[in-house]
A and B are shown apart, each in its own frame.
Chain A
Amino acid sequence: EPEVTQTPSHQVTQMGQEVILRCVPISNHLYFYWYRQILGQKVEFLVSFYNNEISEKSEIFDDQFSVERPDGSNFTLKIRSTKLEDSAMYFCASWDTTNVKLFFGSGTQLSVL
C-alpha cells in the first residue's frame, strides 16, 4: 500500500529557531494536510492544501506557520520562530478521493527547548 513519508522522525530545536518539517504525500492524491497532536491530547487540524494553495486553516495556523509544495513531491510545514508550546507530534496526511481514505504519515516529534 502507498505511504505518506515524513522526515525527520524527531526534531529538537531551541526556542526562537525556525524548523521545517517535510512530507512526501502519496503522488496521485489531491488534498494534503498538516495536523498536530500534543502529548495525550487529540489530533488538531492545522491546514489543508489543494491545487497549490491553502484550502482551509485553523486558528492555530497563525503567521508563524507556512506551508509549501516546492516541487511535485514534497510538502513542507515551516514554523518561523518556535515556542515551547509548539512541542508536539506533527502529522502529514493526504486524501485519496478514489478510495475515500485519509492516509497519515508516521509523524515528526518536535521538541522545543
Chain B
Amino acid sequence: GIQVEQSPPDLILQEGANSTLRCNFSDSVNNLQWFHQNPWGQLINLFYIPSGTKQNGRLSATTVATERYSLLYISSSQTTDSGVYFCAVGGSSASKIIFGSGTRLSIRP
C-alpha cells in the first residue's frame, strides 16, 4: 500500500516565524489532504490538494504530484497554530485514506 512520510517529526518555533512541513508519498495519489489536530484532539481539515497550490490566510499548500510530495507553509506563526499536522492520502476512490505520522508543531510566545 501507499506509504506516507512526514518531516520533520517535531518543530519548535517562536511566534511570528514561518515554517514548512513536508509530506512524501510512495505512489501516485488522487486524494491528498492536510489536517490540523489541535491540543484538544480535534481533527480539522485544512486543504484538499492532490495537485497545485492553494492558500487560505496564513496557510498555503503545494502538491507536486509527479514528484510525490506536498508542502504545507505556515507564515507568521501564532500560538494557536500549535498541534500536530497530518498529511492524508488516498487513491482514485475515497475508500481508503491513510495518514502520515504527523509533524508536531509548538509555537512559543
Contact = CB atoms under 8 A, between A and B. Distances in A.
Interface residues of B, number: 21
B37 to A, nearest CB: 8
A65 interface: no
B48 interface: yes
Question: Which of A33, A89, A102: most chain B Cβ within 10 A?
Answer: A102
Among A42, A43, A97, A99, find the residue whose CB has the most chain B CB atoms closer than 10 A.
Answer: A43
B67 to A, nearest CB: 22
Interface of B: 31, 33, 35, 37, 41-43, 45, 48, 86, 88, 93-102
Given A42-B99, A44-B99, A100-B48, 10 more contacts: A42-B101, A42-B102, A43-B37, A45-B96, A45-B99, A48-B97, A50-B95, A55-B96, A104-B35, A104-B43
